[in-house]
């Protein structure tokens, strides 16, 4: 599976909620390594969410429907695709 950038959440809690929402709809998702913190609790900084590249369009549509906002077509940072 190849991971690809979906969107950037404003913080770790929001990113975790997005990941759970996607996984409930059978879309594999993960948070970008290095964006989160497990040592001191929750990271108060933006967190990138990655999904299986074969489900990117379904994932984007799902988040836009549930969040009732359009996800911006941001330029992912280098390293946002992971195999």
CATH of the domain at 58: 3.30.70
pLDDT value at position 31?
A: 93
Please report whether residue 21 resides in a domain.
yes
Phi, psi of 52 (to 5 degrees): -60, 125
Per the model's pLDDT, the better-predicted residue between 18 and 77 turns out to be: 18
For residues 19 and 27, what is the distance between their CA atoms, to the nearest angstrom? 9
Reported pTM: 0.77
Please report whether residue 82 resides in a domain.
no
- Please give the tally of structural domains in the chain: 1
Question: Containing domain of residue 46, as a range?
Answer: 3-67
Please report whether residue 11 resides in a domain.
yes
Phi, psi of 29 (to 5 degrees): -145, 155
Helix or strand or coil: residue 22? Answer: helix
pLDDT value at position 35?
A: 78
Q: How confident is the model over 22-77, as pLDDT tens digits?
A: 999 999 999 998 777 766 667 678 999 999 999 999 999 999 888 876 666 555 55
Pairing, β 3-9 against β 29-31: unpaired
User: Which residues, 6+ apart, have CB-to-CB distance to 78 below 8 Å?
Assistant: none
């Amino acid at each position: 599976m190849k991971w690809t950038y979906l969107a950037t959440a404003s913080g770790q809690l929001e990113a975790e909620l997005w990941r759970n929402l996607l996984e409930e709809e059978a879309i594999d998702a993960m948070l970008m390594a290095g964006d989160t913190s497990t040592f001191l609790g929750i990271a108060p900084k933006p967190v990138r969410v990655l999904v299986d590249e074969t489900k990117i369009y379904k994932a984007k549509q799902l988040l836009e429907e549930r969040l009732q906002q359009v996800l911006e077509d941001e330029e992912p940072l280098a390293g946002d695709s992971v195999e």
